[in-house]
Amino acid sequence: MSQSVPRLRFEGVTKEFPGVRALSDVTFEVAAGEIHALLGENGAGKSTLLRILSGGLRPTAGKVLVDGRELVLRKPIQARAAGIAMIHQELQQVQHLTVAQNMFLGHQLTRLGGLVVDRAGQERRAAAALARIDPSIDPAAPIRTLKVAQRQIVEIARALLDEARIIAMDEPTSSLTPSEFDRLAEIVADLAAGGVSIIYVSHKMDEVFRIGHRATIMRDGAVVGMRALAGVDQKEIVSLMVGRELSQEPHRSFATDEVKLEANGLGSAVSRVRNISFRLHKGEVLGIAGLVGSGRSELLRLIAGADRRSAGTLAIDGKPVTFRSPREAIAAGVGLCPEERKREGIIPLRSMTSNLGLPSLKRYTSGGLIARRKLDKVAERHLKGVNLRPFLPDRPIRLFSGGNQQKGIIARWLAADSQILLFDEPTRGIDVGAKSEIHALIERLASEGHSIIVVSSELPEVIRLSDRVLVMREGELAAELSSDGLTEQAIVAHAIPGYAGRSTSQS
């Protein structure tokens, strides 16, 4: 594959953000007609790489070559002209427009010198592109009437329309059923046979092995290996992805018999979460696994008072509670460390101390005024406890690395005396050193009697941290598993819709 000029080559691509190096010296090639899997844990740098490829970010150093020519993108729209199409996990389509309108969004066909959109012409060409993969989709139908799998096909057809020679797919199957995946696999194979290069990002090893030719494995922003997928062991790839540090720490349990939190038949008013019942004990770490979109984060938001409950009951220390806002949940001792720290966690311009004090300001307020010295003292104690680095409590939180921001958020809940701590993807976007620190911290908190729920897409993390694991599937609890001898396969079997049923019916 190296005798000719590769279709796509990343050459020493490095991307730095303030406080974190997201990519360092990434180099690999994708041949024409190749299905190239890009593997790595969350935060390994895959998304950053795709954003550079699609013109959403510019590398700090290094370059991207397409057919041997350096690709210089200033705007995402230029990626399209260069023959690069991106199919995102969350489909970026305009709900109330038709299939054809969505396919031509941003570069409409026009008549009368650009004055009028040529809808008929758009629909004709959209139909032609769709016919190559799924003629059953009506180009004049509003996009919202289509199923997710069909909408994905529309995105692929749009890429064909643009005559894309490189298509990057980011977790394309996260919400597809197994039969829909089969169809997608066929389509992708056809495209590759026609000379299109595919970059395929997925967490699901089975899929990757079925569909892909080669795989580049990334960890912590760097390429850690490249393998031809035929004849390589899955375990080898997984160990490359995860590294060795995580799996070696043995799990320690501090769970007691005392029930701290009890949920019965919980259902959400704003998400698909329904009929969730479980108990969380004092000192216990309860893991929640499941696919993206299975309702894990929404369950946490429900417990934390951020979303409205529509059904079921929640009790803390045996007393029923109802939270109309996070403020009420915080008063009852529940603290949420959200998945997207930038969006839901931090007040970027404010100092670490301010961010820490926010939920518990009342404690440091007397006569209507905040006693800064008291707050500073509490902040110092808790920030030392979580090992903030560098130890600058007055520095704006945005200038800290992701790991240290997370430590700040954890310290916030410790300062607020939260007994129930909810972690949503606690180590997403955090580099490996800080990651094991966060893991040790969660374990320490459990040993100190906190009750903890950890939602994570990284199964090794769930297994490493949890005393028990709940698996969610399509908004419901699919299984409760003890973490003794728990394997990733066992979790996955329960997490994928139809998967468990299918394997039992076949065996």
Partner 1 sequence: MSSLSHGNGAEGSSRFGLRTLALRDAGTLIGLVVILAVFALLAPGFISERNLLNILQQSSLNACLALGMTLVIVSGGIDLSVGPTAALSAVISGSLLLSGVPVPLAILAGLALGALCGLINGVFVAVVGLQPFIVTLGTLSTYRALALIYTGGNPVLGIPAGYRAIFNGAVLGVPSPIIIVAVVAVIAWIILKKTPLGEYLLAVGGNEEAAYIAGVPIALTKIAAYVISGFLAALTASILIGRLGAAEPILGNLWELDAIAASAIGGASLMGGKGSIVGTLLGAIILGAMRNGLTLMNVQAFYQLLATGLIILVAMIIDRMTRGRG
The single-letter code of the amino acid at 41 is E
Residues 241-300 binding partner 1 (CB under 8 A) are none
For partner 1, the closer of residues 17 and 209 by Cβ is 17
Asked if 325 is part of the footprint of partner 1 (rule: CB under 8 A), the reply reads yes
Position among 1, 5, 11, 16 found at the interface with partner 1 (CB under 8 A): 16
Q: Does 306 bind partner 1 (CB under 8 A)?
A: yes
φ, ψ of residue 467 to 5 degrees: the values are -85, -40
For residues 262 and 380, which CB has a smaller minimum distance to partner 1 in the complex? 380
Q: What minimum distance in Å lies between the beta carbon of 305 and partner 1?
A: 9
Report if residue 357 touches partner 1, rule: CB under 8 A: yes
65 binds partner 1 (CB under 8 A): no
Residue 477: partners with Cβ closer than 8 Å, 6 or more residues away: 275, 276, 277, 278, 470, 471
Pair 178, 210: CB distance under 8 Å: no
Q: How far apart are the first and last CA of the chain?
A: 40
Q: Is 409 in contact with 422 (CB distance < 8 Å)?
A: no
Scanning 5-13, 194-202, 272-280, 394-402 for contacts with partner 1 by CB under 8 A, the matching segment is 394-402
Residue from 140, 226, 358, 493 in contact with partner 1 (CB under 8 A): 358
Cβ nearer to partner 1, comparing 19 with 68: 19
Q: Does 395 bind partner 1 (CB under 8 A)?
A: yes
Q: Select from 62-70, 83-91, 355-363, 447-455 the region that touches partner 1 (CB under 8 A).
A: 355-363
Count CB-CB contacts under 10 A for residue 9: 20
Beta strands in 220-348 (DSSP E): 222-228, 259-268, 276-281, 285-290, 309-316, 319-321, 334-337
Residue closer to partner 1, measured from CB, 325 or 503: 325
CB of 381 to partner 1, least distance (A): 15
Token pair 């510019």 is found at 58
- Helix, strand, or coil here: 445? helix
CB-side neighbour CA atoms (13 Å) of 206: 10
Binding residues with partner 1: total (CB under 8 A): 48
Q: Is 345 in the site for partner 1 (CB under 8 A)?
A: yes
Of the candidates 368, 36, 41, the one whose C-alpha atom is nearest the C-alpha of residue 215 is: 36
> Is residue 304 part of the contact set for partner 1 (CB under 8 A)?
yes
Residue 373 near partner 1 by CB under 8 A:
no
212 near partner 1, rule: CB under 8 A: no
Q: Which of these, 240, 271, 209, 293, lies nearest to 35 by C-alpha position? A: 209
Name the DSSP letter for residue 361.
G
C-beta of 39: minimal distance to partner 1 in Å? 26
Interaction between residue 320 and partner 1 (CB under 8 A): no
Question: Which CB sits closer to partner 1, 212 or 408?
Answer: 408
CB of 488 to partner 1, least distance (A): 30
Query: Does 327 sit near partner 1 (CB under 8 A)?
Result: yes
Strand ranges across the sheet with 69-70: 20-30, 8-17, 61-66, 69-70
Q: Which is nearer to partner 1, 104 or 400 (CB)?
A: 400
Q: Which stretch binds partner 1 (CB under 8 A): 146-154, 266-274, 324-332, 448-456?
A: 324-332
Phi then psi dihedrals of residue 154, to 5 deg: -60, -45
What phi and psi values does residue 149 have, to the nearest 5 degrees? Answer: -60, -40
Of 242 and 329, which CB lies nearer to partner 1 in the complex structure? 329
Element (H, E) at 85: strand 84-87
- Decide: is 18 part of the binding site for partner 1 (CB under 8 A): yes
Report the residue number, 105 or 269, with the smaller CB distance to partner 1.
Answer: 269
Q: Are 404 and 371 in contact (CB under 8 A)?
A: no
Q: Which of 359, 402, 408, 429 binds partner 1 (CB under 8 A)?
A: 359
Q: What is the sign of the dihedral through the CA atoms of 23, 29, 32 and 34?
A: negative
Dmax (CA) of the chain: 77
Q: Binding segment for partner 1 among 123-131, 172-180, 266-274, 336-344 (CB under 8 A)?
A: 336-344
**Structure tokens, 499:** 């998967």
Whether 71 contacts 63, CB under 8 Å: yes
Of the pair 391, 501, the CB lying nearest partner 1 is at 391
Residues that bind partner 1 (CB under 8 A): 16-21, 60, 304, 306, 325-327, 329-331, 336, 338, 343-351, 354-355, 357-359, 361-362, 365, 368-370, 372, 390, 392-396, 399, 401, 412, 416
